[in-house]
Amino acid sequence: MGSDNARIGRPRSEQARQSILHAADDLLVDVGYAAMTMKGIAERAGVGRQTLYRWWTTKAEILLEATIDDLLEELTTPAEPDPVEDLSTYLRALGRFLLDDPAGLAYRALVGEAQHDPAVRDLVRTADPLGTSARAVLDRVRRTAPAMPDPALCTAHLVGPVVYQVLTAQTALPDTELRAHVTDLVARWSTATGSA
């Protein structure tokens, strides 16, 4: 599908760009990722197909650009003094986001496509919107949790269960489980170590 040549720049008209990104977003919600086509995006946006191919290589690229701002905004939760509360709030928001929000649907579709297409894998890994949002929360917690390891590992431990549950079961984890999970993590990160 996608070749190697990367497009640089943007459409001349910012309004056209917004039309395209909105068209992609709407199409995803309307027909799903599989039935979403470059042709369909172009038609819904009222632009020529070549305009799409000029600035983007795949529908995944368009979709990521269309949703990344919403994604980062939705996953920015207010700081709370208690670390457990802070992280729980974040995970609750994450679960809701992945299940119900259009941008969450887009993120799931992109992670899915990343399993099929190496170019999309690199794209999502580089943007890493979920990791970025998690890092923001984890940085707040770090003051009270000196034993926190590498942020990437923390992120995986923190969000892994939630993401796994949504990807495989289309379900959110119950609140009590979320709290227990976060409590364990904070305890381990606060004291010297939690294992052998």
Partner DNA sequence: GTACAAACGAGGCATTAAGCCTCGTAAGTC
Partner DNA sequence: GACTTACGAGGCTTAATGCCTCGTTTGTAC
CA separation for the pair 22, 3 (Å, rounded): 25
Q: Map the footprint of DNA across residues 92-111, applying CB under 7 A.
A: none
105 touches 29 (CB < 8 A): yes
112 touches DNA by CB under 7 A: no
**Shortest approach of a second copy to residue 183 CB, angstroms?**
5
Partner whose footprint covers residue 12, from DNA, a second copy, none (CB < 5 to 8 Å by kind):
DNA
**Shortest approach of DNA to residue 127 CB, angstroms?**
20
Partner whose footprint covers residue 151, from DNA, a second copy, none (CB < 5 to 8 Å by kind):
none
Q: 24-63 burial by CB neighbour count: b if 16+ within 10 A, else e?
A: bbbbbeeeebeebebebbbebbebeeebbeebbbbbbbbb
Footprint of a second copy (CB under 8 A): 1, 32-34, 108-109, 111-118, 121, 124-125, 128, 130-131, 149, 152-153, 156-157, 159-165, 167-170, 173-174, 176-177, 179-181, 183-185, 187-188, 193-196
CA separation for the pair 132, 112 (Å, rounded): 19
**Shortest approach of DNA to residue 167 CB, angstroms?**
23
Question: Which residue from 69, 74, 63 is spatially nearest to 28, judged by alpha carbons?
Answer: 63
3-class DSSP state of 8: coil
7 touches DNA by CB under 7 A: no
Q: Map the footprint of DNA across residues 17-76, applying CB under 7 A.
A: 37-40, 46-51, 53-55, 58-59
CA separation for the pair 110, 187 (Å, rounded): 33
